[in-house]
């Protein structure tokens, strides 16, 4: 079932590979009310995890961030997004491969589109990465919340979540590209 979000002041949608790994950085930020793991960008209604992961549905694993624009800007959310992904990998993220693990920013209005495109341009021109930034900026489409066991997975299964992040290479990548030297 598609979630109706019109009563929320701010909605941002990001695909950054495994949605388990994308939710905590946003949830821990002031001004973010909720983060919903789900699927977007595909051609089937009400997809399941199995359908999305098997390929062919066109969906991305994504997170929908519900936030208060008076407390956190969309630009700040974009910065959080960039610092969780490898924006140069068109085939997935870390050891998660395939179309459902591609990266994208799904904009909900023209202001978000402009901010997203500006952030892509800024990152591409920064010299931070040797390869081209391939993260797409796309119009928001229907968003389908993932099954309950995927919501706040890091809280429900902390040991598995931590070992998954470590083994995937995501944390090492983030430390290498985004954290200042110690």
| Residue 118 C-beta-side C-alpha neighbours within 13 Å | 11
Contact 55, 98 (CB under 8 A): yes
Contact 38, 74 (CB under 8 A): no
Report how far apart, in Å, the C-alpha atoms of 151 and of each of 38, 49, 117, 155 are.
Answer: 9, 12, 29, 9
Question: DSSP alpha helices (H): ranges in 126-151?
Answer: none
Of 11, 12, 15, 18, the catalytic one is: 18
Contact 87, 135 (CB under 8 A): yes
In degrees and rounded to multiples of 5, residue 162 shows phi and psi of -60, -40
Is 53 known to be catalytic? no
Neighbours of 1 (CB within 10 A): 7
3-state secondary structure 9-49: CEEEEEEECCHHHHHHHHHCCCCEEEEEEEEECCCCCCCCH
- Active site residue ranges: 18
């Amino acid at each position: 079932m598609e979630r109706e979000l019109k009563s929320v002041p701010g909605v941002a949608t990001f695909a950054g590979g495994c949605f388990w790994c994308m939710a905590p950085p946003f949830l821990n930020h002031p001004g973010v009310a909720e983060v919903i793991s789900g699927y977007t960008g595909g051609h089937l209604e009400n997809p399941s995890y199995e359908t999305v992961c098997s390929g062919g549905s066109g969906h991305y694993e994504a997170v929908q961030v519900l936030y208060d624009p008076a407390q956190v800007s969309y630009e700040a959310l974009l910065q959080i997004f960039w610092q969780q992904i490898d924006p140069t990998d068109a085939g997935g993220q870390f050891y998660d491969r395939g179309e459902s693990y591609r990266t994208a920013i799904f904009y909900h209005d023209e202001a978000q589109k402009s901010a997203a495109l500006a952030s892509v341009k800024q990152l591409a021109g920064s010299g931070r990465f040797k390869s081209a930034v391939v993260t797409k900026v796309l119009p928001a489409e229907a968003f389908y919340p993932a099954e309950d066991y995927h919501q706040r997975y890091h809280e429900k299964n902390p040991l598995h979540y931590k070992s998954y992040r470590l083994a995937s290479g995501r944390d090492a990548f983030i430390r290498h590209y985004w954290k200042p030297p110690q």
